[in-house]
Amino acid sequence: MADVKLTIAGRPYDVHCADGEEAQLIRLAAVVDEKARTMPGVTEVRQLLFAALMLADETQEARAKADKAEPQSDSLRAAVALAESRETAARDELKAAVSREQAALKELEAIRGHTPTATTSSNPAHDRALLQIADRIEALASKVEQLP
């Protein structure tokens, strides 16, 4: 236990408290002392009474504020939860899109991997046909673009 000497409304008090709580006790005493001193010229008992009343009033106000803030924190929590679920959904969607893209790339690579043997060495006729088709489709595109 620790011994603390407090002075409230001009009167010294010897108080005991748990070790380590001395500073907090001194701070609390300073608050009470400050309230008590706002009523000069009255008896010490009245000073302490008014200090107690003012502190009770402040406590009540603080509680009311906390009660009012509660619904706001509820809606804030709901908004955060909604945002988090949307973020998760967006991430899942992105993940799925990336997997689809990777699968498509693999497929393309597989096709390209087979293309050289099919187009270069084994079947040059396909290459020629491909080139001719490219020419014809380009000509077709020009015709379609020039349609009235």
Binding residues (CB under 8 A) for another protein: these are: 112, 115-116, 118-120, 122-134, 136-138, 140-141, 143-145, 147-148
**Distance between CA atoms of 36 and 44, rounded to whole angstroms?**
8
Q: For residue 16, what are the contacts with CB-CB under 8 A and spacing of at least 6? A: 1, 2, 3, 4
What residue type is 57 in one-letter code? D
86 or 136, CB closer to another protein? Answer: 136
Q: Which DSSP helix (H) or strand (E) runs through 3?
A: strand 2-8
Q: How far is the CB of 94 from another protein (least distance, A)?
A: 26
2 or 118, CB closer to another protein? Answer: 118
Q: For residue 45, what are the contacts with CB-CB under 8 A and spacing of at least 6? A: none
**Distance between CA atoms of 113 and 109, rounded to whole angstroms?**
6
Q: How far is the CB of 121 from another protein (least distance, A)?
A: 9
39 or 119, CB closer to another protein? Answer: 119
14 in helix, strand or coil?
strand
Q: How far is the CB of 123 from another protein (least distance, A)?
A: 7
45 or 125, CB closer to another protein? Answer: 125
Q: How far is the CB of 105 from another protein (least distance, A)?
A: 15
